[in-house]
Amino acid sequence: MELKLTPLFSAASIQQRVIELARRISDDFADRPLCLIAVLKGGVVFAADLMRELTIPVTLDFIRARSYDGANSTGQVKFTTMPTHPLAGQNILVVEDILDTGCTAVSIVERLRQENPASLAMCTLLDKPCRRKMPVNADYVGFTIDDLFVVGYGLDYEERGRELPDIHVLETRKA
C-alpha cells in the first residue's frame, strides 16, 4: 500500500503554535511545579518541542495506553508504560498527539486520578471534536481539525510516518 499524503500543517506553523501553547502553559503554571506526562508513542515529538519552549522548570514522564480492540470500542485499555515519578500532590499535564474518540484520554485521566495529583490538565496538539464518543476536552489545543486521518510529527499510520516534520492528511490508495 502506497501512502498518499497531502500537506496540512507545515513544520514552521506547528513550531509557531507550540510556542504559543508553551507561553500559555508557562503563565498558567508560573508558580506551580509541573510534571509533563507524554503519551507514547505519538506524543513524544510534541512533548520534546513543547518542553523546550516552556520558561518554567518541568519534569518529564511517560504513559502508554493500548486499546485491546480499537475497532470494537469496548473501552478496554491496558497501560503498558506507567510514570515512574510519584504523582501524588503533583500538577500533571498530559501531553497527547491527538484527541479523537476520547477513549484513550478518558482512560488516562481516570488512571492518573487514582494517583491523587494536585491537578490534572491535558494538552493535545490536534483535536478532532467531531469524532468524540467520550465527554473529554483538552485544556490546551494546538489545532482543531475535521474528520481526517493525519500522519507526521509523531503521528503514525501502522507505525509509518512518525518521522515526518510536517503533518499530512493520509489517503489510502492501492499501489
Q: CA dist 65 to 53, 54, 108, 118, Å? A: 26, 26, 7, 22
- Distance of closest approach, residue 160 Cβ to Mg ion, in angstroms: 10
Q: Is 147 a catalytic residue?
A: no
- Distance of closest approach, residue 26 Cβ to ligand IMP, in angstroms: 25
Exactly one of 69, 100, 139, 146 is catalytic; name it. 100
**What Rg value do the Cα atoms of the chain yield, rounded?**
16
- Distance of closest approach, residue 170 Cβ to ligand IMP, in angstroms: 7
Contact between 102 and ligand IMP per CB under 6 A: yes
What region does 93 belong to: left with phi over 0, alpha with psi -120 to 50, or beta?
A: beta
Decide whether 36 or 103 has the Cβ nearer to ligand IMP: 103
Alpha-carbon dihedral sign for residues 171, 65, 77, 114: negative
Judged by the rule CB under 6 A, the positions of this chain that interact with ligand IMP are 42, 97-105, 149-151, 155-156
Judged by the rule CB under 5 A, the positions of this chain that interact with Mg ion are 156
